[in-house]
Amino acid sequence: MKALYNIMLTLVIIGAINWGILGLFEMDLIGSIFGGMTSVISRIIFVLVGLCGIGAIALYRPINEDEELSHS
């Protein structure tokens, strides 16, 4: 299960970086690498990133007031 979470997290990070580049430079990095926003590979990656983002909602848990913020 940990491997699945790591894959999900990696894809969410890739999506976030792509959105950041899109916002800053008006360039779709995934689309540029894989042949445009409408290419099949790009669309598959976009769908996977979106599904991982939805799946990452399950990883969310509020921090209790008693819990330390640092993981030391």
Query: 62 in a domain, yes or no?
Result: no
Q: Number of folded domains in the chain?
A: 1
26-64: per-residue pLDDT in tens?
999 999 999 998 999 999 999 999 999 998 888 777 767
| CB contact burial 47-63 (16+ within 10 A = b; e otherwise) | eebeebeebeeeeeeee
In angstroms, the CA 27 to CA 19 distance is 9
In angstroms, the CA 31 to CA 18 distance is 9
Structure-token pair, residue 11: 């894809």
Structural domain range at position 35: 2-57
Query: 8 in a domain, yes or no?
Result: yes
pLDDT class for 72, splitting at 50, 70, 90? low
Structure-token pair, residue 46: 């976009």
Assess whether pLDDT exceeds 70 at residue 65: no
Query: 29 in a domain, yes or no?
Result: yes
